[in-house]
Amino acid sequence: MTEALASTPTPQGGAANLAIDIHTHYVPHGWPDLATSDEMTARGEWPWLRVETEHDAMIMLGTNEFRRIESDCWDAERRLADMDADGIDVQVVSPTPVFFSYGWDPIEADKVCRIFNDLALEICAPAPKRLLPFAQVPLQDTDAACREVERCKVNGHLGVEIGNHVGDRDLDDAGIIAFLQHCASIDMPVFVHPWDLPNSPRLDRWMAQWLTGMPAETHLSILALILGGGFDQLPADLRICFAHGGGSFAFWLGRVENAWHRRPDTIATSEHPPSHYLDRFSVDSAVFTEPALRLLIDTLGANRVMLGSDYPYPLGERPSGALIRSASGLDDSVRTALLGGNARVFLGPAAVDRLRQ
């Protein structure tokens, strides 16, 4: 093990001032053939990795190219070097959503989750105090998802990443609510990432699925937990965070609040107005401009925003944390909270104990 991998960062001010990036992704450098069933073979959509060089590969879905990636997706040493360059002490390392497999048979999806979750542990193993693995689960099957998140907690995962919907089932679906209740009961934080975006010819240009679809999908998911009564059913101690600053939710909260009061016949389906639930979830800081960051702080509160970069993908922030560090008008306590203090609360005692070891 190299010195870089073995070392533990010692930021000025001690462990309480660690910079923690709660939104990063991994892809393993290969995995067993997933086309193990007639259904998967017939659909031709199973994911595999076409390795092109020691440092480059292509994620494939059947015969279709999905995304070109580099070794920072799987190489801990390269990842840690980038973290050191950016001043990041700790990363939460989550799955890449294309591998969620919610549209597959639950038995096959469960196999995929187990394979990728075990590989995530291998990727993070060289630096367990700096690389904190989050799991994935077969969310289309509530019982299987609960079993897998329990297995992952025992094995060392510190949280779970889920997609923002399962087909036409949103986050207020009874099965997903039951899974979230289970996560709260076993003290596993949840990171929600948009995936399986709507597609049409109008969205095929300029990566419009990512530029407009992702913010809208995340906004809709937060609305589902509010207007769909999800938060009314979930315990207050569930720790849940939404990617990309919560999408467009913060900007349009006023519109939603106004509609809740003016159209109670169809919109006032939650026990309280939308603004009542702002202390029930967090968001990351991947919004790229100071006015957008200020909007999140002003709308949700400084204790509900955490550093998140979307590393290592090209639409993410580099250097990670640059927006928070450069934003004017933040006092030292708020900047420290956004850089890592809020993440320590979100990750919970198990993660904090690991960082202290």
Mean pLDDT of the chain: 90
In this structure, is residue 3 part of a structural domain? Answer: no
Q: With b meaning 16 or more CB within 10 Å and e meaning fewer, what string describes 250-264?
A: bbebeebeebbeeee
Is residue 38 predicted with pLDDT exceeding 70?
A: no
**CATH number of the domain that residue 169 is part of:** 3.20.20.140
In this structure, is residue 259 part of a structural domain? Answer: yes
In this structure, is residue 8 part of a structural domain? Answer: no
Query: In degrees rounded to 5, what are phi and psi of residue 233?
Result: -95, -15
Is residue 353 predicted with pLDDT exceeding 70?
A: yes
More confident residue, 300 or 199: 300
Cα separation of the two ends of the chain: 19
CA torsion 311-167-158-7 (nearest 10°) is: -20
| Whole-angstrom distance, CA of residue 80 vs CA of residue 131 | 9
In this structure, is residue 189 part of a structural domain? Answer: yes
Encoded tokens for 143: 């019982």
Domain that residue 36 falls in: 13-356
| Whole-angstrom distance, CA of residue 79 vs CA of residue 127 | 10
Encoded tokens for 347: 């990750």
In this structure, is residue 138 part of a structural domain? Answer: yes
pLDDT of the residue at 198:
74
Encoded tokens for 276: 């009542």
Could you give the number of structural domains in the chain?
1
pLDDT of the residue at 350:
84
Q: Which of 25-34, 79-88, 132-141, 298-307 has the lowest mean pLDDT?
A: 25-34
pLDDT of the residue at 43:
59
DSSP state of 37: S
In this structure, is residue 340 part of a structural domain? Answer: yes
The candidate with the shortest Cα–Cα distance to 331, out of 299, 355, 297, 295, is: 297
H or E, element range at 49: strand 47-51
pLDDT of the residue at 164:
94
Could you tell me where the DSSP H helices lie in the chain? 3-6, 38-43, 76-86, 106-124, 142-155, 174-185, 208, 214-227, 230-233, 249-262, 290-300, 322-326, 332-336, 342-347, 349-356
In this structure, is residue 323 part of a structural domain? Answer: yes
pLDDT of the residue at 13:
43
Query: Which whole number is the average pLDDT over 63-79?
Result: 88
Is residue 275 predicted with pLDDT exceeding 70?
A: yes
User: 290, 328 in Cβ contact below 8 A?
Assistant: yes
Query: Which whole number is the average pLDDT over 271-280?
Result: 96
pLDDT of the residue at 326:
96
Tokens 């590393």, residue located: 311
DSSP state of 285: -
Q: Can you tell me whether residue 65 is helix, strand or coil?
A: strand
DSSP per position, 251-271? HHHHHHHHHHHH-TTTT--SS
Measured from the Cβ of residue 21, the count of other Cβ atoms closer than 10 Å reads 30
pLDDT of the residue at 14:
53
H or E, element range at 131: strand 131-133
DSSP state of 309: -
Beta-carbon contacts of 234 under 8 Å, excluding residues fewer than 6 positions away, are 177, 180, 181, 184, 225, 280
Encoded tokens for 313: 């993908």
Q: How confident is the model at residue 267 (pLDDT cuts 50, 70, 90)?
A: confident
More confident residue, 50 or 116: 116
Q: Of all residues in the chain, what percent carry a pLDDT higher than 70?
A: 92
- pTM for the model stands at 0.92
User: 239, 190 in Cβ contact below 8 A?
Assistant: yes
Using alpha carbons only, give the angle 145, 158, 82 rounded to the nearest 5 degrees. Answer: 120
In this structure, is residue 20 part of a structural domain? Answer: yes
pLDDT of the residue at 4:
44
